[in-house]
Structure 1
């Protein structure tokens, strides 16, 4: 498959010559993400970016199965050691979803689960209703690290926490931007009792590629002004 982009929950941890993870220093431990690992199919540019825009802004829903196939490969690449897990797409705020008419993360997740169903044997359970976005947020692009954290703080709540207790959760989004949003979602799931959280996305924004987050200005129907970047991951 295309090159996968990975980020481990271990942050700045190093490994010994024998492959054994080294102990994290205090600073690294504090900076450790609340998820075990994040994996993306490829960088958010070129044809992959165009394909995501077709679904997200032009509402070409036939792009969802193609993106779903990519997401299915990412999920396989994560090799999550769990017999069963809850699959939770990152939710949109209700006004944004009404405006767009759908949640692109949910559409791609459904397409991926459909592809994986014949061999998954009930391993993946879609649980889109377990996470709710209770307020809208600004674009993360252009914000400082502190501003990004404050922007999403309290924006998500877990629904029916008891159903999350002890569960492995696979958090899904279309694009991993700065990681702040998925980190906040993972924190909420962990606080609700989830044992582990993994993150799977179709694309990941590489450093210095923030300009690629601008919605297309090519005649596509847009649900966001060009001054507001679509940064939901």
Structure 2
């Protein structure tokens, strides 16, 4: 195929056939998309369904029962006014870390084992409801939306890596908890994020590297010292060779106190990781009301799941 005076001249019948086939495929794809959209709208009319977040009727049948308005209202965190290490919202007088960056009281008292934690949004409103759909109502397509959010966080953190691409390690559930739930939400979200990695980057997902050796109690309501003791020794690195001299990026759905992530980072660094970072979909801002809400949500959802399992 040769350009001549602004026109395209086909140098052979093979070129013409290839171009014709491409046009046909393009037309078929457009037609298929139109038919699919029309079918979804028809199904929504015949079998109406409501958005699981706001209750509004869905315009189209979808594997994710959430309307576009609710998805649009999930907004990312705005920069500024947060701890440079854990991302906690700073209130009152701002103090600085040794590096001259703003830090919260907890990070100044006991610096976490991770270099930095970042989240897409605040654990509230529609984002909180999306996470609940996945974790407690087992709506797995929600992992795709949450994965897109996580991918943005991973990309920003990975830009600061000294060398190479990150090894992504989901913070694991204990085996008994994963059997009860049927999946690891952090791994599902990480796999969805992996599909959106930038061209030319190689994000390595390694869920088998980190293991939760024993179950742990909720961190909510514990003092910082009790939180550290609660997770001390709860995690083990199973494949140290895969993190040795590498930068590791821990991924999870929600960062609450940051103590669990710090313990995971501690054992990874002891196994040879050069630095450990933390990327999550959501971040709680530690107001007492927020922490109480998280515990109440978790207790209510677990109770509902137990009742459903027992019939």
Q: TM-score, normalised by structure 1?
A: 0.83
> What is the deviation of 1:211?
2.2
1:37 deviates by 0.8
Q: Which residue of 1 aligns with 2:48?
A: none
The structure where helix makes up a greater share of residues is: 2
Measure the CA separation in 2 of the matches of 1:219 and 1:199. 26
Tell me the secondary structure at the aligned position of residue 115 of structure 1. Answer: coil
Write the distance in 2 (CA, Å) between the matches of 1:100 and 1:182: 21
In 2, Cα distance between the equivalents of 1:55 and 1:80? 30
Report the alpha carbon displacement of residue 109 of structure 1 after superposing the two structures with TM. Answer: 0.4
How far 1:73 moved relative to its partner?
A: 1.0
String of CA shifts for 1:75-111, please: whole Å, max 9, x gaps. Answer: 1222332322210000000000000000000000000
Q: Give yes or no for contact 2:256–2:286 (8 Å, CA) kept in 1.
A: no
Higher relative contact order (CA 8 A, sep 6+): 1
Which residue is equivalent to 1:87? 168
Gaps of 5+ in 1: 16-20, 226-233
- The counterpart of 2:191, out of the listed 110, 135, 138, is 110
Paired position in structure 1 for 2:297? 215
In structure 1, C-alpha distance between the alignment counterparts of 2:137 and 2:108, rounded to whole Å: 42
What aligned pairs does 1:31-180 form with structure 2 within 5 A after superposition? 31-78=110-157, 79-81=159-161, 82-116=163-197, 119-180=198-259
The superposition leaves residues 42-78 of structure 1 with CA deviations (integer Å, 9 ceiling, x where unpaired) of: 1101000000000000000110010001101111222
Name the CA shift for 1:22/1:126 in 2 (closer, same or farther; >3 Å): same
Structure 2 CA distance, aligned partners of 1:219 and 1:198? 30
Q: Deviations over 1:193-225 (max 9, x none)?
A: 000101000011112210231337988984479
User: Who wins on radius of gyration, i.e. which is larger?
Assistant: 2
Is the Cα–Cα contact under 8 Å of residues 57 and 215 in structure 1 kept in the other structure? Answer: no
The answer for unaligned runs of 5 or more in structure 2 is 1-74, 88-94
TM-score between both structures, scaled by the size of structure 2 = 0.63
Aligned length: 216
